[in-house]
Amino acid sequence: MQQPVTCSLRLGMDDTLVPIEFKKVLIEFKNVPIEFEKVPIEFKNVLIEFEKVPIGIKNVLGKV
């Protein structure tokens, strides 16, 4: 049985959490593709900066 890749995204300064499921994740570091598929990933205290990156979010469940 394959488990979906999920994590919680914290929004703002409160405790609002948005569960996110990744069907297929492709992360590229300096032209080195690293592909994660069906791998549980947990993020804690992670700061991510996006610059000029289009992001599409679908089927996000949570309270905003």
pTM: 0.17
pLDDT single digits (tens) 25-64? 666 667 667 676 776 766 666 666 666 666 666 666 665 5
The residue extents of the domains of the chain are 5-36
pLDDT for 30: 72
Classify each residue of 21-54 as buried b or exposed e, where b means 16 or more C-beta atoms within 10 Å of its C-beta. eeeeeeeeeeeeeeeeeeeeeeeeeeeeeeeeee
pLDDT for 19: 67
